[in-house]
């Protein structure tokens, strides 16, 4: 069973990461969601990654704030794709998380998306695009979703546009 694994460094990250899970549900994509900290529960994180891979995880999404070491810790423990979602908060309102997530050493890639809700949703889309490489049905759903998004922009424009 193929699925995407979502890890959060703290339960407080759920308010944002539920948007990631909601996006998977919209497309009927299987996922797991767990809280596991690279700093407070490093052994739990390592064990979870190994067990998730054995069950069929094809990619990992790691959300964390402040030092944001979770995505890097996941990347160090797997060769599956890792997508980092930096979380807002702390003294630098997420900039520290952004830099910690994006600045990985060569050979330990972490695809990093935006801070917050947009990042959570885009992490789901990016993971689904990875799955869609071999899943034609999901690929079709993603293409249809793009058409819906484009039509919404046109509709929104008609509500407000002024054209000479």
Q: Are strands 111-112 and 82-87 parallel, antiparallel or unpaired?
A: parallel
Give the integer Cα–Cα distance in Å for 162 and 64. 43
Q: Around Cβ 104, how many Cβ atoms within 10 Å? A: 18
* Domains in the chain, number: 1
Give the integer Cα–Cα distance in Å for 92 and 3. 33
Q: Is residue 141 part of a domain?
A: no
Backbone φ and ψ of 29, nearest 5°: -100, 130
Is 44 annotated as a binding-site member? no
Q: Is residue 159 part of a domain?
A: no
Is 13 annotated as a binding-site member? yes
pLDDT tens digit string along 54-69?
999 999 999 988 777 8
* Token representation of residue 3: 């699925």
Q: Where in the sequence is the domain holding 53, given as residue range(s)?
A: 3-135
Look at residue 92 in the predicted model and tell me its pLDDT: 81
pLDDT tens digit string along 76-135?
999 999 999 999 887 787 888 888 889 889 999 999 999 989 999 999 999 999 999 999
Q: Around Cβ 137, how many Cβ atoms within 10 Å? A: 10
Q: Is residue 158 part of a domain?
A: no
Is 135 annotated as a binding-site member? no
Q: Is residue 124 part of a domain?
A: yes
Answer whether 0.75 is exceeded by the pTM: yes
Q: Is residue 49 part of a domain?
A: yes
pLDDT tens digit string along 41-56?
999 999 999 999 999 9
Q: Is residue 149 part of a domain?
A: no
Q: Is residue 61 part of a domain?
A: yes
Extract long-range pairs of 11-14: CB within 8 Å, 24+ residues apart: 11/35, 13/63, 13/64, 13/65, 13/87
CATH value at residue 17: 3.40.50.1970
């Amino acid at each position: 069973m193929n699925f995407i694994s979502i890890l959060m460094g703290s339960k407080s990250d759920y308010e944002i990461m539920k948007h990631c899970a909601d996006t998977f549900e919209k497309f009927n994509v299987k996922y797991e969601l767990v809280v596991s900290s690279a700093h407070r529960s490093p052994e739990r994180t390592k064990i979870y990654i190994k067990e998730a891979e054995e069950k069929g995880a094809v990619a990992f999404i790691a959300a964390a704030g402040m030092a944001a070491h979770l995505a890097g810790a996941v990347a160090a423990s797997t060769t599956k794709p890792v997508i980092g979602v930096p979380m807002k908060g702390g003294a630098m309102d997420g900039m520290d998380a952004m830099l910690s997530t994006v600045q990985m050493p060569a050979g330990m890639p972490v695809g990093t998306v935006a801070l917050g809700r947009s990042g959570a949703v885009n992490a789901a889309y990016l993971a689904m695009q990875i799955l869609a490489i071999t899943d034609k049905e999901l690929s079709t759903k993603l293409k249809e979703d793009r058409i819906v998004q484009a039509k919404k922009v046109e509709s929104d424009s008609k509500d407000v546009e002024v054209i000479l």
